[in-house]
């Protein structure tokens, strides 16, 4: 058989463009943790008041910018503390792998905060200036998550802060700016989303357990160990679904909300994806499945809330 010599010129792989890298370090697969709660809070409010579209848009952009800034602070301080290397697994590491200047990442994070404040002022003008204080506290927590002398991410409290701030609080604020108040139903509906946002944090910490331990972190995953941390992650998924079922049984929400159970297979995939895995690269799919569980659960919850709030025949 005749063969021809390989005449194709050798070329090294091109590095991705700066904009593509910048998009990656915003960690887009995690951004559902901020915009899904805004959708949920707004959908729930439709049963009480007309939809204020501009307030919704301002809240959505502000929350996304706060989370993006938090992710950029994470990128910056992980580099400053020597946690990111060329061999690091995950989306982070643009500074060490792609040549991003550290100060550029820090300025982008601060810029996101600055634009978020402008949208926050608009929200306060049309709702309450008390939200300015809440917003500033939220931004401070976003910075202190990886910045400051004792970063929250280095403690067992990361899941709690992430769940409360980006899960429950984003829902309640979104509901408040539409209605002017917070009621029992909005608080109760916000809890399962808070749990699932905390689960995203737990999944990341399980994947990074060994590296975080070497860097001196004391995350919940490290304190529990891999096997028990995976069990707790599964329990968090179960708690979110059981909470919705409890609300339905008590008659506090419409049975249509049970459509969130359609997302259970994704939660099962996420939990199984961590079992008997010991390398970060092996656990990356499970981390994605965890974020996808929050997305599917949240979207199904939004759909059920929207139809039960707007159309009487769904009640």
Q: Give me the pLDDT at residue 99, please.
A: 65
Looking at 7-21, 55-69, 118-132, 182-196, which range is the least confident one?
7-21
pLDDT digits (tens, 9 = 90+) for 98-114: 667 888 889 999 999 99
Given pLDDT bands bounded at 50, 70 and 90, which one contains residue 2?
Answer: very low
Compute the average pLDDT of residues 199-221: 89
12-48 pLDDT, tens digit each: 444 556 677 777 777 777 788 888 999 999 999 998 9
Q: What is the pLDDT of residue 290?
A: 95
Kindly report, residue by residue over 77-91, the tens digit of the pLDDT.
Answer: 887 776 655 555 555
Instruction: Provide the pLDDT for residue 267.
Output: 97
Residue 32 and residue 48: Cα distance in Å, rounded? 25
Asked whether the predicted pLDDT for residue 6 surpasses 50, the reply is: no
- Average pLDDT estimate for 124-146: 92
Average pLDDT of span 268-279: 93
Among 200-209, 252-261, 304-313, the range scoring the smallest mean pLDDT is 304-313
Higher pLDDT, 289 or 93: 289
For the chain, the average pLDDT equals 87
- Report pTM: 0.86
- Average pLDDT (204-221) is 88
Q: What is the CA radius of gyration of the chain?
A: 21
Three-state SS sequence of the chain: CCCCCCCCCCCCCCCCCHHHHHHHHCCHHHCHHHHHHHHHHHHHHCCCCCCCHHHHHHHHHHHHHHHHHHHHHHHHHHHHCCCCCCCCCCCCCHHHHHCCCHHHHHHHHHHHHHHHHHHHHHHHHCCCCHHHHHHHHHHHHHHHCCCCCCCHHHCCCHHHHHHHHHHHHHHHHHHHHHHCCCCHHHHHHHHHHHHHHHHHHHHHHHHCHHHHHHCCCCCHHHHHCHHHHHHHHHHHHHHHHHHHHHHHHCCCCCHHHHHHHHHHHHHHHHHHCCCCCCCHHHHHHHHHHHHHHHHHHHHHHHHHHHHHHHCHHHC
Q: Report whether 17 contacts 84 (CB < 8 A).
A: no
Q: How much of the chain, in percent, has pLDDT values that exceed 90?
A: 62
Domain spans in the chain, listed from the N-terminal domain onward: 18-314
The pLDDT of residue 130 is 93
- Mean pLDDT on 265-293: 93
The domain 18-314: what is its CATH number? 1.10.600
Taking 80 as the threshold, does the pLDDT of residue 296 lie above it? yes
* pLDDT recorded at residue 37: 94
**pLDDT of the residue at 87:** 53
- Crossing angle between the packed helical segments 264-272 and 226-249, to the nearest 10 degrees: 170
């Amino acid at each position: 058989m005749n063969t021809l010599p390989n005449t194709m010129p050798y070329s090294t792989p091109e590095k991705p463009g700066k904009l593509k890298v910048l998009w990656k370090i915003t960690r887009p697969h995690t951004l559902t943790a901020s915009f899904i709660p805004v959708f949920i809070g707004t959908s729930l409010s439709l049963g009480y008041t007309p939809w204020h579209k501009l307030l919704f848009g301002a809240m959505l952009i502000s929350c996304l910018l706060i989370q993006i800034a938090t992710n950029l602070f994470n990128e910056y301080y992980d580099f400053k503390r020597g946690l990111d290397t060329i061999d690091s697994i995950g989306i982070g590491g643009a500074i060490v792998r792609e040549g991003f200047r550290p100060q550029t990442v820090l300025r982008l994070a601060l810029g996101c905060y600055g634009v978020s404040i402008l949208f926050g002022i608009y929200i306060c003008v049309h709702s309450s200036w008390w939200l300015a204080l809440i917003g500033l506290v939220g931004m401070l927590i976003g910075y202190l998550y990886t910045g400051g002398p004792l970063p929250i991410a280095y403690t067992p409290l990361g899941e709690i802060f992430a769940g409360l701030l980006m899960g429950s609080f984003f829902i309640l604020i979104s509901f408040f700016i539409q209605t002017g108040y917070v009621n029992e139903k909005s608080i109760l509906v916000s809890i399962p989303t808070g749990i699932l946002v905390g689960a995203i944090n737990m999944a990341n910490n399980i994947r990074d357990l060994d590296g975080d331990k070497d860097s001196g972190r004391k995350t919940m995953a490290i304190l529990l160990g891999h096997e028990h941390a995976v069990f707790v992650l599964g329990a968090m998924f179960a708690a979110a679904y059981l909470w919705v079922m409890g609300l339905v049984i008590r008659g506090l929400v419409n049975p249509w909300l049970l459509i969130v159970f359609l997302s259970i297979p994704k939660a099962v995939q996420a939990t199984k994806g961590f079992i008997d895995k010991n390398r970060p690269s092996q656990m990356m799919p499970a981390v994605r499945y965890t974020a996808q569980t929050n997305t599917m659960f949240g979207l199904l919850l939004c759909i059920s809330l929207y139809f039960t709030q707007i159309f009487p025949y769904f009640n």
